[in-house]
C-alpha cells in the first residue's frame, strides 16, 4: 500500500472535524477474485466446531536462521512439502486430514522439520495470524508423546502456555481435534478456577494453561512436571514482556526439567523482547516472516470523528444495526468502560455481552461460547480478547478507545502492537473486514495518526454528518463475499 504523509493540523482553533484533512480515496482493487482463487480449505488450527477460519496463504517469504551451522539446507527434510514425508504417526495424519490440512503452509513447511528433529532443538518462530502456527506447535507436541502405558497417559509430557483463558481453551480445541485418533491422549486445561474451587489434579499427557495457574499447580503438586519434554509459549512476545506474565513464565520454566524443548511463537517480536527470547530458549533455531507490510491485508481501516466521550457512545448506538450484520467486537481500554457501555446499551434494548478479566472464569467461558455460536452478535471487550482468538463470523472491530500505553509520569502514547492484534480479530485468513477507531479529541487523533505512520497504512476518515453515506461505505465492505464466514471453506 502506498505511503501516506501524516495529516497536518493547525496548532489552534476550529473543531476537530475542521482540523482533519480527508485522505485521498483509495483506488478500487481488482485482486479479490485472484485472492479467492488462491484460497485453501486448510484452517489455521482452530476447528470449525469452534468457529475457526479457513487459511489463505499471504505473500511472504520465510527466513530461517539455524543455530547449528552444520545443518544442511540441501537435506530434503529441511523444508517439507508434504506432511507424509515428515514420518508422522498415521493417527496424527488422520487428525490432520480431519482438519482439512492437505499440505504444510509456508511456516509449517520450514518449522516442522526443525521442530520434529532429534535430538529436539529449541525454536523461536515469528508467524502472522493465519499462517498455521498453532497447528505447527500442536503437531510437534503430539509427535513427542509416549502414550504406551496408562501411567504415561496420565503423566504431563508437554506444557503449552497462553496469556488468556480464552486462547487456552481455543488451543485445547485444536489439540483435541488433531489428536482425536491418538488412543490414550488426555488433555488438561490449567486456567484459574472460580472462587473457592479447588485446583484439579493434572493426570494428563498434555497441559494447556495460563502461567499463573500452572505455577500454582506445580507449587501445590497437583501437576508434576518431572517428565515434561516440551514447553510452548504462544503469543510469546506478550508472555515475556508483560511484567506479570514475564515473571510467571520465568518462574514456571525454573520449575521444569532443564533438558526440555522450548518453542516460542508470536506474530510480533519487538527487538528487545526478541533478545530476551533468545535467552529463554537458548541455542534456538529461528524463523521469521518477511512481510512488505505488517498490518493485515484485507482489513479496511476507518476512523470516525466524535465531538466528545458522550458522542462516542451515541455514535456506537447509531452503528448497532451494522454491528449485527455479522459479529463485532468493541474494544475499550478499561473494565469500567466495558461495564458502563454494556449497562447503557442493554437498558436501551440492545443485545450485547461484555468480556473482561474481572468476570468469573466459568462466566467468561459462557460469554465467549455464546459469541462463537452467534447467539451473541456484539461483544464488548478489553485487551484480554485482542490476541489469538479466531471467530470466523467477526466482520467488524470497533476501537471505542484508541489503544494506548499508559506509563505513569510519561505522556500517553500509541500501543502499536495492540492496535495490530485488535484489528486482526477481523479480516481473518483472506477475508475482508472493517476496523473503525473512534477519535474524540486532538490527542487521540495524534495517537491514531502515529499508528497510521508506524504501519505505513491508510486509516480513512468517514464523515458522520451523513449517516446514509456512513452505512453505504461500511456495508459495501462487510457485505463483500470475502467477508462472509463461509469464504474459503
| Residue linked to cell 446514509 | 468
Weakest-pLDDT range from 133-142, 177-186, 309-318, 380-389 = 380-389
Higher pLDDT, 359 or 57: 359
**Residue 295 has what pLDDT?**
52
Weakest-pLDDT range from 139-153, 175-189, 264-278 = 264-278
Please state, in angstroms and rounded to a whole number, the distance separating the CA atoms of residues 392 and 383.
19
Residue 440 has pLDDT above 80, yes or no: yes
Give the count of beta carbons closer than 10 Å to the beta carbon of residue 309: 13
Please state, in angstroms and rounded to a whole number, the distance separating the CA atoms of residues 328 and 353.
11
Tell me what percent of the residues of the chain surpass a pLDDT of 90.
44
Residue 435 has pLDDT above 60, yes or no: yes
C-alpha cell at 437: 477507531
Higher pLDDT, 94 or 30: 94
Residue 415 has pLDDT above 70, yes or no: yes
Domains of the chain are: 62-292 (3.40.50.300), 299-478 (3.40.50.300)
E strand intervals along 128-178: 158-161
Residue 195 has pLDDT above 80, yes or no: no
Which tens digit of pLDDT belongs to each residue from 204-242? Answer: 999 999 999 999 999 999 999 999 999 999 988 888 876
**Residue 206 has what pLDDT?**
98
Residue 4 has pLDDT above 60, yes or no: no
Residue 423 to residues 33, 227, 396, 429: CA-CA distances in angstroms? 23, 39, 8, 13
Please state, in angstroms and rounded to a whole number, the distance separating the CA atoms of residues 320 and 106.
39
Q: Are 429 and 391 in contact (CB under 8 A)?
A: no
Would you call 382 helix, strand, or coil by DSSP? coil
Residue 342 has pLDDT above 60, yes or no: yes
Weakest-pLDDT range from 304-313, 329-338, 409-418 = 409-418
Query: What is the arithmetic mean of pLDDT over 308-325?
Result: 92
Q: Are 158 and 144 in contact (CB under 8 A)?
A: yes
**Residue 69 has what pLDDT?**
53
Residue 34 has pLDDT above 60, yes or no: no
Confidence of residue 60 (pLDDT cuts 50, 70, 90): low
449 sits in which H/E element? helix 442-454
Phi, psi of 339 (to 5 degrees): -65, -40
User: The dihedral of CA 29, 482, 164, 381: what is its sign?
Assistant: positive
pTM, rounded to two decimals: 0.74
**Residue 11 has what pLDDT?**
37
Weakest-pLDDT range from 47-61, 269-283, 408-422 = 47-61
Tell me what percent of the residues of the chain surpass a pLDDT of 70.
78
Residue 372 has pLDDT above 60, yes or no: yes
Q: Are 488 and 56 in contact (CB under 8 A)?
A: yes
Residue 194 has pLDDT above 50, yes or no: yes
**Residue 227 has what pLDDT?**
97
Highest mean pLDDT among 285-294, 382-391, 452-461: 452-461
Q: Are 88 and 120 in contact (CB under 8 A)?
A: no
Please state, in angstroms and rounded to a whole number, the distance separating the CA atoms of residues 122 and 264.
8
Q: Are 78 and 104 in contact (CB under 8 A)?
A: no
DSSP 320-340: HHHHTSSEEEEE-S-HHHHHH
Residue 346 has pLDDT above 70, yes or no: yes
Higher pLDDT, 376 or 202: 202
**Residue 220 has what pLDDT?**
95
Residue 136 has pLDDT above 50, yes or no: yes
Amino acid at each position: 500500500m502506498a505511503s501516506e504523509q501524516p495529516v497536518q493540523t493547525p496548532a489552534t482553533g476550529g473543531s476537530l472535524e475542521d482540523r482533519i484533512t480527508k485522505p485521498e480515496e483509495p483506488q478500487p482493487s481488482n485482486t479479490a477474485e485472484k485472492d479467492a482463487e488462491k484460497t485453501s480449505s486448510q484452517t489455521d488450527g482452530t476447528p470449525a466446531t469452534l468457529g475457526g477460519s479457513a487459511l489463505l496463504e499471504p505473500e511472504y517469504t520465510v527466513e530461517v536462521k539455524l543455530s547449528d551451522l552444520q545443518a544442511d539446507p540441501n537435506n530434503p527434510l529441511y523444508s517439507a512439502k508434504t506432511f507424509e514425508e515428515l514420518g508422522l504417526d498415521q493417527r496424527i495424519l488422520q487428525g490432520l486430514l480431519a482438519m482439512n490440512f492437505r499440505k504444510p503452509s509456508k511456516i509449517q513447511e520450514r518449522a516442522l522439520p526443525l521442530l520434529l528433529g532429534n535430538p529436539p532443538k529449541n525454536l523461536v518462530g515469528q508467524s502472522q495470524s493465519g499462517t498455521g502456527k498453532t497447528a505447527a506447535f500442536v503437531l510437534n507436541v503430539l509427535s513427542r508423546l509416549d502414550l504406551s502405558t496408562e501411567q504415561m497417559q496420565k503423566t504431563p509430557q508437554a506444557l503449552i502456555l497462553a496469556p488468556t483463558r480464552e486462547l487456552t481453551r481455543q488451543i485445547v480445541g485444536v489439540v483435541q481435534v488433531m489428536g482425536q485418533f491418538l488412543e490414550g491422549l488426555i488433555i488438561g486445561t490449567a486456567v484459574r478456577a472460580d472462587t473457592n474451587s479447588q485446583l484439579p489434579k493434572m493426570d494428563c499427557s498434555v497441559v494447556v494453561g495460563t502461567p499463573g495457574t500452572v505455577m500454582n499447580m506445580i507449587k501445590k503438586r497437583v501437576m508434576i512436571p518431572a517428565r515434561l519434554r516440551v514447553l510452548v509459549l504462544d503469543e510469546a512476545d506478550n508472555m515475556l514482556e508483560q511484567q506479570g506474565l514475564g515473571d510467571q513464565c520465568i518462574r514456571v520454566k525454573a520449575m521444569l526439567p532443564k533438558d526440555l524443548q522450548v518453542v516460542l511463537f508470536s506474530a510480533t517480536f519487538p527487538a528487545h523482547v526478541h533478545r530476551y527470547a533468545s535467552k529463554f530458549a537458548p541455542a534456538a533455531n529461528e524463523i521469521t516472516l518477511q512481510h512488505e507490510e505488517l498490518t493485515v491485508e484485507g482489513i479496511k481501516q476507518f476512523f470516525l470523528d466524535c465531538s466528545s466521550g458522550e458522542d462516542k457512545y451515541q455514535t456506537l448506538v447509531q452503528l448497532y444495526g451494522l454491528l449485527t450484520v455479522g459479529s463485532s467486537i468493541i474494544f475499550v481500554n478499561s473494565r469500567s468502560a466495558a461495564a458502563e457501555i454494556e449497562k447503557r446499551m442493554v437498558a436501551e434494548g440492545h443485545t450485547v455481552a461484555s468480556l473482561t478479566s474481572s468476570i468469573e472464569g466459568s462466566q467468561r467461558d459462557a460469554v465467549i461460547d455464546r459469541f462463537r455460536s452467534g447467539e451473541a452478535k456484539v461483544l464488548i471487550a478489553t485487551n484480554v480478547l485482542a490476541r489469538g482468538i479466531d471467530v470466523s463470523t467477526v466482520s467488524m472491530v470497533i476501537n471505542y478507545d484508541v489503544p494506548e500505553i499508559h506509563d505513569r509520569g510519561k505522556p500517553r502514547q500509541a500501543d502499536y502492537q495492540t492496535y495490530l492484534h485488535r484489528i486482526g480479530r477481523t479480516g481473518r485468513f483472506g477475508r475482508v473486514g472493517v476496523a473503525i477507531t473512534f477519535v474524540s479529541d486532538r490527542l487521540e487523533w495524534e495517537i491514531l495518526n502515529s499508528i497510521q505512520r508506524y504501519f505505513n497504512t491508510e486509516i480513512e476518515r468517514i464523515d458522520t454528518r451523513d449517516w446514509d453515506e456512513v452505512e453505504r461505505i461500511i456495508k459495501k465492505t462487510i457485505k463483500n463475499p470475502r467477508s462472509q464466514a463461509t469464504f474459503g471453506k
